[in-house]
Structure 1
């Protein structure tokens, strides 16, 4: 390889995986660096476009909203973004006639803005795809077979036989990342004896932007407000955590029986219910890569970390990783440095590892604390929830955590340009 080819390779980043974190990183890098950087996105699912994300919805915290605003796509998804104005947390058994409220969040994390929005995935992905294409991202609807780092570059073999040289490969290819395994990066994790059921529910009454988190002995049952629509006029997304052994009996009896089980947990606050989509069942697990980096390789999103959905922070962790990595790569390029060098990747890992491990520990601990019916633990956790509810300073701390507004943030999550 001659010097000119090597310098050209240092102006190329390849991203494996067109999920929301991978798309966001591709868009941020392309917008910030223009023709000075070639950004290539590889994913066999690109040919399906945004349709493969239909039926999913995510809680996007304030930092993610600021980043999407800076990247110029928030206006395109605002019609599908429902502000969460407040949240109610309860703890009870399924048979209890009353669900006492132990904690409420009704404050704003920043002036004039809710602490989160529920955003439907299909329009969000469509907006990211359109903006990335307009910014010059190269789409390759094929997988990556092999990546061989050597001599100041990495040579990436695609599924169609072509080879792409690049300074940096980003593995955003999911929890079972083949690129992470090929780089021999260890993984620490375990499966939960639970499954997550996701469905879209129609209801008669307006949710008024309120989210509910009911802690039941089998796991949390979250009701998350969506924008109005559907046959009954109003909609919510549910994320229902249930013991894995119980899921076939709860969902195998047909739509009417499934809706009856949902109604037992959903309650009657929002009137008559209808099952609009789902439920789809997903195994739940915790996992953390032993390192977020390899030789000319960065792990992003689920390839780096998987956490329990109890706090709805999985996507926000991935977005924060995309913001930090885009900033580190862009700063290196502007200084004439190698964007795939160990120093750049160490900066990325240092900025994300502590917060990610901390959030993973919190969600794991919350799930273990609340997904049981042990009376001493119930008394302790309910006392703790009530204490938080009565201390405004402590509540603001929790709201700030949920809104991704505490501590140093990467520039994009502050709403600033790279």
Structure 2
């Protein structure tokens, strides 16, 4: 595993991954799979009430390569279609749009699983890998130079590595030490999240109502004992509406959720406690520098629209592993070329997704007739034109801009 460095008290490894959330855990697994020694440093994140992640085909293939797919499928629910309904009361009606996995010859577009269960699956795999040393500690500071990347832990330990993968979140200390500039913005919205039980089946279909406060989305979840029909809710709304709704008695909030869903799923019951988080966005000036690369929310943040967040983060990890696969990490020239390639890929992929999500979100919350007309015409074209619709589905679940090697091989068929 790790070895003692020439510097007294320091531990030496090939790859240092900072941050032990789902992105950091996936990064540690990807690089250990490539035969590298990995030190994964960070605190395991606390539970996130009501939060799930919809993992699409490219991410499914990646999880299969990491050995996580069987457990993810067992714990999650397949998403066979995505249904989008305009509920903005705009002047000209917008047709309902349904995107089905069968149109692109897939059994499902992806799998929806609770965030906490996904972290648990990846954590178990990390702990089973002898190439990974999991160090549950805080990183106090970093030292980045042309020869090494080092982390100084809060307990005084020092970890030295040939390369640092920064997965330490939107307030990344590693990014700040590297001097990478950040552009941030906010939206006048809060996302309310919850797990729901409902009366009628979801038929493995994600249903998204587009309202003037943002999308109201129900994503299918697997059944539980005495709860055959379940979904996760992501509901974007104003800050004032979020405060009002979360202060309501539970049954009144359930009635309002049922009303927003047009009673299509019958009566609603909230499982556990609902969660909330403020909407914002973030981009960085570059995604790699020296002996460090950024992945996940260290380099991109945007609203939970189209379920792009974690899928994009896993693509960061797979892309970085691909770019570094045949590189001697001690060779500065080889490393520099590989990181330039990674930066180009991430600028294109992240920029495309960020702009698309931003435009869709703003088009909903700004009641401007030309914008409504453009959005309506886009929906009409996708609904009416089969080739365009199939292209949109493929781009959403299996992007053409960047498809790293760990995402190219189709996932194994699910046994049973």
State the TM-score, normalized to the length of structure 2: 0.90
Whether contact under 8 Å (1:12, 1:39) holds in the other structure is: yes
Match of 1:106 in 2: 100
Separation (CA, whole Å) in 2 of partners of 1:170 and 1:293: 9
Q: CA deviation at 1:311?
A: 1.3
C-alpha change, 1:109 and 1:116, in structure 2 (3 Å) is farther
Mapped to 1, the partners of 2:225 and 2:361 lie a distance apart of 32
What do you get for the CA RMSD once the two structures are aligned? 2.6
In the aligned structure 2, how far is the partner of 1:306 from the partner of 1:200? Answer: 23
**Aligned equivalents of 2:27, 2:351: Cα separation in 1:** 21
Contact preservation (8 Å) 2:282, 2:301: yes
Q: Are 1:10 and 1:338, in contact at CA under 8 Å, matched by a contact in 2?
A: no
Shift in Å, 1:157: 0.5
Contact 1:84-1:115 within 8 A present in 2 as well: yes
1:332 alignment partner, SS class = coil
Measure, in 1, the Cα distance between the counterparts of 2:145 and 2:177.
15
Match of 1:14 among 4, 10, 16: 16
User: What residue number does 1:238 align with?
Assistant: 233
Q: Counterpart in 2 of 1:23?
A: 25
1:415 maps to 409
**Among residues 346, 350, 357, which one is paired with 1:352 in the alignment?**
346
Q: Does structure 1 conserve the Cα–Cα contact (< 8 Å) formed by 2:43 and 2:136?
A: yes
Match of 1:162 among 157, 161, 169: 157
The answer to whether the aligner puts 1:365 opposite 2:359 as a matched pair is yes
2:289 maps to which residue?
294
Map of 2:63 onto structure 1: 68
> In the aligned structure 1, how far is the partner of 2:103 from the partner of 2:344?
26
Q: How many residues align?
A: 403
**Structure-to-structure mapping, 1:46-195, within 5 angstroms:** 52-53=47-48, 55-93=50-88, 101-108=95-102, 110-136=104-130, 137-150=132-145, 152-195=147-190
Superposed CA offset, 1:269-327 (max 9, x none): 11221111332110111110111113311111000111121111010110000001112
Alignment correspondent of 2:414: none
Shift of 1:375: 4.2
| Superposed displacement of residue 178, structure 1 | 1.8
For 1:405 and 1:376, the matched residues in 2 are separated by: 29
Give the secondary-structure state (helix, strand or coil) at the position aligned to 2:326. Answer: helix
The separation in 2 between residues aligned to 1:349 and 1:10, in whole angstroms, is 26
TM-score normalised by length of structure 1: 0.89
Relative to structure 1, the CA distance from residue 223 to residue 145 in structure 2 (aligned partners, 3 Å threshold; closer, same or farther) is same
Summarize the alignment of residues 381-392 of structure 1 with structure 2, pairs less than 5 Å apart: 381-392=375-386
Q: CA deviation at 1:388?
A: 1.1
Q: Which has the higher helix share?
A: 1
Q: How much has 1:373 moved relative to structure 2?
A: 3.4
What's the secondary structure of 2:406's corresponding residue?
A: helix
Give the deviation of 1:416 after TM superposition.
8.0
Secondary structure of 1:130's aligned partner = helix
Is the CA contact (8 Å cut-off) linking 1:325 and 1:348 kept in structure 2? yes
Kept after mapping to 2: 8 A contact 1:149/1:296: yes
What's the secondary structure of 2:44's corresponding residue? Answer: helix
Q: For 1:256 and 1:340, locate their aligned partners in 2 and report how far apart those are by CA, in whole Å.
A: 60
d(CA) in 2 for partners of 1:181, 1:90: 41
Tell me, which stretches of 5 or more residues in structure 1 are unaligned? none
| Mean CA deviation greater in 108-117 or 77-86 | 108-117
Deviation, structure 1 residue 44:
2.4
1:185 and 1:362 mapped to 2: Cα distance?
Answer: 24
Equivalent residues of 2:16, 2:165 under 8 A apart: yes
Gaps of 5+ in 2: 412-416
Judging changes above 3 Å, is the alpha-carbon distance between structure 1 residues 212 and 288 closer, same or farther for their aligned structure 2 residues?
same
Q: Is the 8 A contact 2:98 2:383 kept in 1?
A: yes
Q: Residue 170 and residue 369 in structure 1: after superposition, are their counterparts in 2 closer, same or farther (change >3 A)?
A: same
